[in-house]
Each structure stands twice: as structure tokens, then as C-alpha cells.
Structure 1
Amino acid sequence: MSASQESHGHDIEHAPVTSVLQDGDIPLTKQVMSEDERVITALGYKQEFKREFSLWTTFCVSFAVLGLLPSFASTVYYGMGYAGTAGMVWGWLIAMVFIQCVAMAMAELCSAMPTSGGLYYAAAVLAPPGYGPFAAWITGWSNWIGQMTGAPSVDYALAAMILAAGSIENPDYVPTNWQIWLLTSLILIIHAGLSSMPTKWIAKLNSYGSTFNLLALIAVIIAIPAGTKNQPKFTPSEKVWGNITNLTAFPDGVAVLMTFVAVIWTMSGYDSPFHLSEECSNANIASPRAIVLTSGVGGLMGWLLQLVVAYTVVDIEAVLDSNLGQPWASYLLQVMPRKTAMGILALTIICGFSMGQGSMIAASRVTYAYARDDCFPFSNIWKKVNPYTKTPVNAVVINTILGILMCLLILAGEVAIGALFSIGAIAQFVAFSIPITIRVFFVGNRFRRGPWHLGRYSRLIGGSGVSFVFLMVPILCFPSDAGKALTPDLMNWTCLVYGAPMLGAIIWWVVDAHKWFKGPKVNIEHAIHPVEDDAEVVDQAMPIVDGKSIQGQLSGDGPKKVG
């Protein structure tokens, strides 16, 4: 280490690898800025949104995207349909340990780099020299596919529940696929209109929606065991926890792993605070807290709901094979008086509407962030911020159009449209794991933390999370049947529906995109990696304020200098 570095107390162990401006993390402007503006400018972007989200309202959006009650209702087929009640309770518990590891590792990245580009930006910043653009490209496309399928899959399940309620009231009515598609499209259009409102209105609307979500979830967890008509009321614990009802062609252990698709899809919305960080005040602390809070509260409440259903369900096969076409509605009618079941179904429908709204908001911010860096065709259109609402209305519009087109899979049957759920699970967690993998295995202790971090447990927690993802990606592509019993209509088409666009993105990169896509495009020149000379980091002159550099103030864990 050079004498100048020693005099400044510069620690090579914590040399910065995140955004470093040419003249330090000092915004090159005379304008008086808030702390949030200083952070986003130091990362290379200018402040374009109003920061009207708080920790609570950010949590509300992400909890709405999580939508535990409607998410469980949408994926109950996978939870109990692969391994029965034992798969439900053990599957959720085991998966949540590792999902929480992924969430905490992501929160650490968010604290260091609070931008709406989120994981895509982090992958570019952390990747080894020369690989940043490709890492950003793959992460961005995978995350965008997952985000884009979120609202359509939620709204499809919502439409199915609404029409199932109609079937309960009028047993002669059997919904057609065309009717489900038309209702899904209508809901998507309504969500598009609501997601185009000013940020302040969106924050307030989602605050109300998430509060209702949480209260409804608590009410359902209490109401089902209290009001069940079963005699006896509950299934014995040894049967709930120990009886794996394997309805797949695979061994019991694999069947339990296959139930994780319900957990992973349900818990794939906690990255929303990352994408909303440019609209959140005190973002490098509030946003990571919102990520961990969403995952933690969601995981616990979701497991309680799993237990309630596992202890009260009477006949799993009857729930799955009901002509209502909606297992949650079938389950409620099986265990509850009719009027009570309809009341709970109504609560689920309202929560599902709020969830779809949150999913649309998060997806539009991701589309905007990637279009800002010219990732998409016609990016100059999708990256525009509406001058009246100050929100990315064009990004909302394109996501809605693509969502309506994707929902045409409804016309191909339940197996085809079911791929949307697996795609969302795989695409999101692949995107989550790429920057975390780079941070854990390639960057190591050179990562410059933000004010919220995991300390010495960072690499252990991150490594555990990404190992879980690597295990689950192929498992989520397994069909429930195998061998001669596997027919095209029973095939799990996730590998094709997700793999085809990702393969297309890779081919596009090799053929053309590598020539012009250089990673996150910034409005102020910044270096993704530090300048190194003979394995030593060259210190950069940084002004001193109150005894420490601005870089140290912004990062919370960066090198500090004594004036």
C-alpha cells in the first residue's frame, strides 16, 4: 500500500467496486440536493421521480405484490397436488429458510445501489471487467420476463375465482376459456389505468390495498379453523406432517421439492422495493428494510395459512378435480358453510385485485429502467416519463398489451396457462441469483456495502440462497407425470416458454447486441470498477466533510479518511 493510501486510512480489503465517480462520489453540480439525490447521482443517474414512497408505503406495494391470500389461492394446486399436506407444511418451511437468505442478500445489494434498475444494475456493477454488459443483459431479460408475467398470472387467477363464484351461485353456469380471457384482459386494462396515476396516489391506493390484504389474511387464518364444518374439525398431526400423498411419478423427496413452486411463485414479489427505490425517501435504508420485512412477514403468515388448510382439508383429490376449475373455491366449499365460503372467496378476490395492481406497478418500473438503458426495441418510447403524472405510463401500456397477448395461453388449456406461474418463479429467482452469485463468489470482501448490510455473514447467507436456486431451477421444470403416462397436454412447458425467449436474448447478444449494449446507461460519467495498479487500488482524491469522505457518508461502510 502506498504512503498516501496509508495516510488516508484506505483499506484495500474494502476497496469500492460499486459506482465510483471520476472525482469521487461527489455530484458535479452546485445544486443543493437531498441525501437521496446525492446517492442516486453518485450511482450515475439523475433524480427523475418524486420520492413519495416511505418505508411503510414501499412495504405496502411489495406486500400487495406478494398477495399471500390470492397467491395461495392461485397455487394451491401445486402445494397440495404434488405431495399432499406433508408437502405443504414441510415444503413451505424448508423453502422459506432459503428464500429468506435470497431476500437478505438482495437487500444488501439494494442498500449499496438503490436504483430502479435493481438487480440488473447490480449485476453490471459487480461483474468482472468486460462481463458487466452481458451480466446485466441476462439478468435484465430474466427479471423482466418474470415481472411481465406477474400481473397476467395474478389477473388470470383472479378472473377464474370471480367466474368460479358465479358457478357456485348458478350451478348451471360453466365458464368458458374465452370468458376467462376476456375478464382477465379487462382486469389488466383497469390495473393499467390505476398504475398510470401520480406516484402519491399510487402509494396511497396500495397502502389501503395492502392493509386490507393483511387484515383479510389474518381474518381467514382465524375464520377457517373456527368455522369449519368438519367432524372432527382437524386432521391428526401425525397425518398432516407425516403422510406424503405423492400424486407425481417421482420419489417422495422430489415430489416435496416440486411443491416449492407454490412457495417460490408466492414469494417472488419482495424485490419490488428495489425497483421503487428511486421513488422512496431514505432509500438505501428504507428499501432494504422493506425487502426483508416483506419476505419475513410474508413467509410467516404464509406458513400459518398452509397449516390451517393442511389441518382442515378433507379430500385433496376432490379439491383438485372439482368442476369449478378453481381449487381454492372447491376447498372452501368442502370445509366451510356455503355463505362463509363465499365470504372468504370474496375477500380473496379483493386481495387478488390489489395484488395484480402491485404487480403491474413493479413491472412498469422495471420496464422503464431497462428501456432507459435501451435494452428493448423502441426503448425511446417506453422510457418516457409522463409530464403530468410523473410516472412511466408508456411502460405500463406496453406491459398491458403483452400481458393480454400472453393470456391467450388460456385458450390452449390449463397446462399451457399454468406455465405462467412456473415462468414467474424461475425467471425471478434466476435474476435474483445472478448478482448475488457474482457478489459472493467473485467480488468477495471488495464489495462496498451500504448502510444496511449482513456483516460477516453476508457471503454465507448469499451462498446458501443461490445454492437453493440452482437446485430448484430444474425441479420447477419437472412434469407431474413421466414415462408413457406423460402426454403433451400433461407436459410442463416451463422450460420451453421461459427457455425460448432467454435463448433468443442470448442469440441476440452474440449476433448483435454486444456491439451496442454497454450496460446501464448513466447521465453522469462513472466507472463501474476501481482503477487498479499492480493489485493495488489507486486512491482518488475526495473532499472531506466532517472528518470523512462523501464516499464514506454515502456508502455507510466505505473507506474513511481523516482530514
Structure 2
Amino acid sequence: MPSTKSDDERLAQMGHVQELRRDYSIWSLGSLCLCLMATWEALSTVIATALMNGGAPCLFFNLLISIICTIAIALSLGEIASIYPTAGGQYHWVAALSPPATRSVAAWFSGWINVGGQIVLTASAAFAAGLQTQALIILNDDSYIPQRWQGLLLYWTVLIYATSLNVWGSKLLPTANLLSGILHVTGFLAIIIVLGVMAPKNTASFVFTEVSNRSGWSNDGVSWLVGLLSAVYPLLGYDAACHLAEEMPHASRNVPLAMVGSVTVNGVLGLGYCIMLLFSTGPLEALLATPTGFPFMQIFFDATESAAGATVMSIIITLIAIAATAAGITSTSRTLWAFARDKATPFHGYLSHVNTSSQIPVRAVVLVMILQMLLGFIYLGNSTAFNAILSMAILGLYASYCIPIVYFLIFGRPKLQPYEFGPFKLPKGLGVALNLLAIGWLVLAMVFSCFPTIMPVTPQNMNYSSVVMVGWVVLGGAYYIIWGRRKFEVPVVGSAVGGF
């Protein structure tokens, strides 16, 4: 087993010194990714939208396709992460692979887009946990009338808890993530058993063959492709492993294994849960009309005929959303810290500071929380605008996945010598095929994630994700042109880092 010293030496070859504590094991890091993705839990929240865009068969087959393509993406990113194991992740990889003429701008925008995508993905987990808590009150108290400000306070409470765990419980984070991973798997088994035994069942034809279109799109093919969103969102966030690369030993091997392993495990769990959930759904109209606002709670209630039973089942999903928030703040803060370390952010000297006693970038952690809390004011004023910002997660993260794979395919794979690859290396022919599959899926998903999910389009149901994404890129572009390009210290690999 290579020593931590070899990890530190590898990091030094990429222009940085070891500042963070290497506390994570392959199991705790894999658990972090499992809970951050929360695939089967996320499927619970998108079930009604998926049924509108093509019905049950489309969700099942879209999810199956999405799992296969996401594994291809994880394998592609894992191979790059094995060569360049740094907390910067995507932007550092692009910097290492880019020609000198485009290196600065390509690396900087990759990092900017990735940070934005991670911030909103984590905010969406906290938001889900907060509103699900509010929904649990509705489930158990018919007289309760939910208020938007109450949802905001619950959202903030989740963020404060997750931040506190990251700052004051940092040494407990690996164990906390491992325990959350265990809950993720055991909770899945418990809910599957309850639904399998107690829920009224739909027919196999409903689940696998009866295609329907209630989205309002006149073209069934477009409706099906728009429904990709329901299969893409539950498979986001596995890049968190690469952002913890400086906090685990033998990162060149363990980071790719955590990425690919978490996607594979979550894919299997998600597919099994999808089938059981589709067999257990009641009428779509009843799901859409549920007073809780969460169709999965209605499914659990219909299965158990008990508010207490539905509450226990629902709490599992809410607890994982809270765990995902803590994991997301960990990953996002490391990306922001690494970006600041390379002088790519405003106040980079302040944000790149690492607390000497805890060896945690506390300032970056706190800033991530503050930015996410500020997003809550948008929800308080206009929930449509808030949801539009959260919907940028797919565009932001998928773009940050796509850019390094394209650069690796064009500039990395043909030019790197065998000894320059890390221990996680794909055969050349298979690697090229997986890169092409990953790029094709990423582009397809990004395009159709910008489409409205239902027609006709109104100001309330319009998909504003592309508008938010363009706004984020324009904001970043203005900063880069005015200040960033002069300060950004583009990370450059001094020598080959493979062969360890």
C-alpha cells in the first residue's frame, strides 16, 4: 500500500502542498458519494413528473439508459482523476490537458461552472429536506397550513446543521458519512419490503409497456426526451470524490473506485426502487393532489394506510437529504477552496486559508453556507425563480463533466505516455468508446434539460435553467475579464504524475 508521503509527493508535482488531513477511507468516501447522489431517494421526488412525460415505461428505460451512460461518464472522469488527484477536480484537469493558448480561460470557466453547479445541487438537497419536514407535519396534522417562511427556516436549519458538522465535527465526518451510507442501503431495503408486501400493485404492462403522454407536448418523442430530466437528476454529484482527493490516502486509486462504485451501487438500487415504486403508484391525479406536495408520501400512506407508517418511511428519505447536504457542503467547499488557492476567486487570500488546528478550509465552508442561505430569500419572494436557480444543477455539473472529457479525448489520450497514466487506466479502444458515449449523453441531457417539462408554457412552469446558467457564465466572464485573468495562477503539472 503506497504511503501518504507518495500522495504528498504527487500533489507537490501538481504545484501544491498537503494542507488537509487524509481521514477518508474508500468506504467513507464512497458513502459520501452514495448519499450525495441519493439516487433512489431522489427518484421518489420526481416520480409524478416522470409519469406525466411518457408514463412508467419511459421512467424505467430512461433511468436504465441514464445509469449506463453515467457509468461511462464516471469511468471517463475516474481515469482523469487517477492522473491528476487534486481537490480542484475538473478545472485542474482541464488546465493540465489544455494547449497553452486556451489553458487559462478553459480552466477558469470549468472551475466557475463547477462551483456554481455544486452550490445549487447542495442547496436543492437542503431545500428538499426542509420542505419534506414541513410535509411530514402536514401528513400528521390536517389543520396545519404551511407558510413559505416556515419552509425557509427549515431550509436554513438544515444548512446550519450541515455546516456545523463540517466545521466542528470535521473529524467525525468520515464516520458520519459511513453511517449515512448504511442508512441509505438499509432504508432502501426496508421501504422495498414494505411496498412489496403492503402496497396495491399496478400491472406489469403499466410499468413496462403502457406509454402515456400527459405533459402537453404534442410530440411523444419530445415528451420522452424531456422526461430525461427525471432520470438525470438522481445521478448527479459523484464528482464529489475527486474534490476529496487531498483527504484520503492513495487517491489515484481510491477516488476513481469511489466514483464508479457509488454510481454502480446507486444505479442498481435506483433501478430496483424505480420498479417497485412504479408497481406501487396509485392514480396520477391522486399523487399530484396530495396535500403534502410530495407524491412519494402519498404512495407510502396508501400502502400502509397509516400516517405513522408513512412518516417513518418518509423520514428515511429526509435524513438522507440532510446527509446529502452535509456531503455537498464538504465537496463544494473543497472545490471553492482549491479555486481560491489558485487565486481564481474574489478574496482568494481569505478563502484559501486552512484552519491549522482542524485542517479544514473553514472560511470556504462558511461562505458556501451563506451563499445557499441567501438563495433562500429568493424562495421567500418567488418560488419559481428559486426553482429556476436550483434547476441549473444539471447544466452546471454536466458541463463541468463534459469539458475535461472532451479535452482528454482530444489532447490527453493521444499524447500521454503509458507511464503518465494513473493506476486506474482504461484500455485505449474502450476508453475512446466510453469517452464518446459520455460526451454524447452529456450533450443530449443538457439540451433537453432546458426544455419545459409541461405544455403550454406559463411563467410559473417555464424552465429557466438556461437563463440562470447564461447569467452565471456572464457574471463569471465579467469577473474573469476585469480581474480574474490577471490573478489566476493556472495549475500546471510539473512532471508526469502517473506510474506511482
Same fold (TM over 0.5): yes
Alpha-carbon separation, structure 2, partners of 1:409 and 1:325:
20
2:55/2:210 contact within 8 Å kept: yes
Amino acid of the structure 1 residue aligned with 2:312: G
Question: Which residue in the other structure is 2:206 paired with?
Answer: 239
**What residue in structure 2 maps to residue 372 of structure 1?**
341
Q: Which moves more between the two structures, 62-71 or 426-435?
A: 62-71
> Does the CA contact (< 8 Å) of 1:199 and 1:391 recur in 2?
yes
Whether the 8 Å contact between 1:160 and 1:326 is mirrored in structure 2 is no
Partner residue of 1:259 out of 194, 212, 227: 227
Q: Does structure 1 conserve the Cα–Cα contact (< 8 Å) formed by 2:125 and 2:321?
A: yes
- % of aligned pairs identical? 23
3-state SS of the aligned residue for 1:358? helix
Partner of 2:286: 318
Could you tell which deviates more after superposition, 142-151 or 409-418? 409-418
CA-CA distance at 1:311 after TM superposition: 1.1
- The amino acid across from 2:191 in the alignment is V
Of 471, 475, 485, which residue of structure 1 is paired with 2:448?
475
Q: Cα deviations across residues 521-563 of structure 1 (Å, max 9, x unaligned)? A: x7xxx548xxxxxxxxxxxxxxxxxxxxxx5xx5139xxxxxx
Please give the per-residue CA displacement for 1:195-226, whole angstroms capped at 9, x wherever unaligned: 11364321111111111112111221222111
Does 2:181 match 1:222?
no
By how many angstroms is 1:420 displaced? 4.1
Shift of 1:478: 0.8
Deviation at 1:83, TM superposition (A): 2.4
**Structure-2 residue corresponding to 1:191:** 162
Match runs of 1:30-45 below 5 Å: 34-45=5-16
Partner of 1:4: none
Separation of aligned partners in 2, 1:358 and 1:381: 23
Q: Is the 8 A contact 2:162 2:326 kept in 1?
A: yes
Pick from 57, 60, 67 the counterpart of residue 38 of structure 2.
67
CA offset digits 1:48-107 (Å, max 9, x no partner) = 112111111111111121123432233334333422212211110111111111111000
Q: Give the residue type in structure 2 aligned to 1:454.
A: L
The answer to whether the Cα contact below 8 Å between 1:126 and 1:438 also exists between their aligned partners in 2 is yes
Quick one: distance in 2 between partners of 1:475 and 1:325?
A: 25
> Judging changes above 3 Å, is the alpha-carbon distance between structure 1 residues 149 and 277 closer, same or farther for their aligned structure 2 residues?
same
Find the counterpart in structure 2 of residue 451 from structure 1.
Answer: 423
What is the match of residue 16 of structure 1?
Answer: none
Question: Which of 238, 242, 245 does residue 277 from structure 1 map onto?
Answer: 245
- Equivalent residue for 2:215, pick from 232, 242, 248: 248
Structure 2 partner of 1:173: 144
Kept in 2: contact 1:52–1:199 (CA 8 A): no
Q: What SS is found at the alignment partner of 1:556?
A: coil
Query: Which residue, 428, 436, 443 being the options, matches 2:405?
Result: 436
Q: 1:221 to 1:344 in 2, by over 3 A?
A: same
Alignment of 1:164-563 (within 5 A): 164-197=135-168, 199-228=170-199, 230=200, 234-250=201-217, 251-338=219-306, 339-447=308-416, 448-456=420-428, 457-482=430-455, 485-520=456-491, 526-527=493-494, 554-556=497-499
How many angstroms does 1:501 deviate by? 1.0
Cα offsets for 1:332-389 (capped at 9, x unmatched): 2233322322220122122222121111111111111111112211121111111221
Cα deviation for residue 401 of structure 1 reads 0.7
Secondary structure of 1:224's aligned partner: helix
Distance 1:299 1:236 in 2: 23
Q: How big is the alpha-carbon RMSD for the aligned residues of Structure 1 and Structure 2?
A: 1.9
- Shift of the alpha carbon at 1:190? 1.1
Counterpart Cα distance in 2 of 1:137 and 1:321: 45
Report which of the two structures shows the higher radius of gyration computed on alpha carbons: 1
> Going by fraction, where is helix more abundant, 1 or 2?
2
The one-letter amino acid of 1:418's match is N
Distance in 1 between residues matched to 2:28 and 2:292, nearest whole Å: 36
Q: What is the aligned length?
A: 492
Contact 1:111 1:288 in 2 (8 A): yes
Partner Cα distance (1:492, 1:185) in 2 = 25
Aligned equivalents of 1:358, 1:130: Cα separation in 2: 36
Q: Is the 8 A contact 1:153 1:420 kept in 2?
A: no
Q: CA deviation at 1:162?
A: 0.9
SS at match of 2:249: coil
What letter is aligned with 2:427?
A: G
Write out aligned runs for 1:43-54 (5 A).
Answer: 43-54=14-25
Q: CA separation of 1:83/1:418 partners in 2, compared to 1, >3 Å: closer, same or farther? A: farther
- Note the C-alpha offset of 1:298: 0.8
Q: What is the CA–CA distance in structure 1 between the aligned matches of 2:202 and 2:335, rounded to whole Å?
A: 44
Aligned to 1:539: none
**What 5-or-longer segments of structure 1 have no aligned partner?**
1-31, 529-550, 558-563
What's 1:542 paired with?
none
Shift of 1:165: 0.9
